[in-house]
Amino acid sequence: MSAANDRMNAAAVPQGDAGPGWGVGPELRQVLAALGAGLSREGGEPDLQGIFERELQRALAVRTVRLREIPPRYQARLVTPTRTPDSIVLGVPSSDPRVQAVLEASTGPDRCLDDRDQALLSAAAELGGLVLEAARSRPRIRATVQPTASLVGSTPVMQALRERVERVAVTDFTVLVEGESGTGKELVARQLHDISRRRNGPFVAVNCAAVVETLLEAELFGIEERTATGVRGRRGKFEHADGGTLFLDEVSDLSLSAQAKLLRAIQDLAVERVGGVGSKRVNTRIVVATNRPLSEMVARAQFRADLYYRLSGVEIHVAPLRQRREDIPELARYFLNRHRGTRQLTLSVAAEDALRLYAWPGNVRELERLMERAVALTGCDRVELDDLPPHVRGDYGTVIGPALATGDSMRAWGSRYARLVFERCGGNKRQACRVLDISYHTLQAYLRYADRSLSKSPTPLPAWAAPGQANGEESGGPP
């Protein structure tokens, strides 16, 4: 215990080359105070590493601070301590000689690291060794017990999806997420990251369809300084996601040449910057998503088979909204509740029924936008059927709603439905019989009942059930 205290004191009051007289004590005391508060805080496991990085970044007023360990499997990628005007890498003490630990800091173009910054970071690197040791020795809460609350839904389909995400999250395998547009593939990828052991690392998302092909290589792998006139060197998305997760959305839109470059990076877990002369290993988990089945694209020679086999194996399929209709009211209330600060709205029973019957070609994204429309335009504190757009109300507003409101019997409903199909078939009884799968005489009986109901009804029949201009007796004989 005394040895640990000696190291703590040495970190707080740097000697020798740390530079006496610079007054680095107050900054480190601020970091130490935040670490102590994190240890004593109730309600969960403290993220000591995150507290250390955040407070040190605030004390130095720099852009990034990162404390990390390089595991033994990456021994070939030992980091050499370096210092440039806008970045610095320092060695951090480690109790495990097989593991290298480093403290990295970088600034923006408007600030340079001076000797005082290096003195403070040198002392902080010693403290960082204690932070890593404390974080390593404390038991961590398993990620699988964390609820994936953002994946809203109670149907068996959603329960199976959550279970699969939790199983896959504890691994570092590449994951392929498939599903239609708007189903929430990026949300699934973020859940994979948030409940994994990489949750303290960055989550970097790239829409492959939005990146110009000529710039894709530099965007993903980076570019070296002065590769071309006026070009500044920068890291690519793979390096930005080092220690975290890289999410490649719409990977099916990559060209064949871009697919070849991506395959090499995924196989070697190493990237070579544009204009560079060597590759750099990255500790990045890859999650890719597509709205088109890659297996079918491979069969049509539109996607490389070797890349497909590298990406597939650990797959997660996100079902479209129409396959989990019972989740629609829950999702709608969830989206309304997100805007409760603006307005507090509820859903009427009729509106819920109409939402459940709609086909939702835009899936969850379309439902979210529709609820935003309701928040903006609904006149009262409840979303009624008339507050929904006509294409969403559909036949519920013109067929099912009026039938429920008038308490129609099964025979009356069947007659009105037969009249609706008959009118949509252009008054052709033969075609209507085929659609309804009933005989000609049964259709005749339904139509006569509907006509009698129309003549006796004190209120006008809905437009969908009113007789059309075609004469039923002359529009086709018995089938």
Give 455: exposed, middle or buried? Use CB within 10 Å, 0-12, 13-18, 19+. Answer: exposed
Number of neighbours of residue 478 by Cβ within 10 angstroms: 11
CA distance 420 to 324: 28
Task: List the one residue out of 192, 219, 220, 195 whose CA is nearest residue 287.
Answer: 192
Looking at the DSSP bridge assignments, the partners of residue 249 are 207
Burial of 62 (C-beta count, 10 Å sphere; 0-12/13-18/19+): buried
Tell me how far CA of residue 384 lies from CA of 340, 350, 354, in angstroms. 17, 7, 10
Q: Decide if 465 contacts 437 (C-beta within 8 A).
A: no
Residue written as token pair 């994204």: 365
- Give the DSSP H or E segment for 32: helix 25-40
- The full set of domains in the chain, from first to last, is 2-137 (3.30.450), 150-317 (3.40.50.300), 408-479 (no CATH)
Q: Rounded distance, CA 375 to CA 379, Å?
A: 9
Query: For position 315, what pLDDT does the model report?
Result: 94
> So what's the pLDDT on residue 477?
45
Q: C-alpha 103: how far from its chain's center?
A: 30
E strands, 156-233, are 175-178, 203-207, 222-223
Give 72's DSSP letter: G
Q: What is the pLDDT of residue 396?
A: 63
- Roughly how many angstroms between the first and final C-alpha of the chain, as a whole number? 95
What pLDDT shows up at residue 466?
47
Question: Quick check: 200 and 176 in contact, CB under 8 A?
Answer: no
Series of mean pLDDT values for 10-residue runs along the chain (479 residues): 43 40 64 79 64 82 78 51 78 80 78 82 86 67 42 90 91 92 93 89 89 81 72 80 91 88 84 78 91 93 92 92 93 90 88 89 94 92 90 70 64 80 89 91 86 56 46 42
Taking only Cα atoms into account, the Rg of the chain, rounded to an integer number of angstroms, comes to 32
Burial status of residue 277 (CB atoms within 10 A of its CB: 0-12, 13-18, 19 or more)? exposed
Report pLDDT for 133. 81
Helix ranges, 170-293 (H): 185-194, 213-221, 237-240, 256-268
For 146, the token pair is: 């964390």
Instruction: State the maximum Cα–Cα separation within the chain, in Å, rounded to a whole number.
Output: 107
Rounded to 5 degrees, what are φ and ψ at 29?
A: -65, -35
- The amino acid occupying position 84 is T
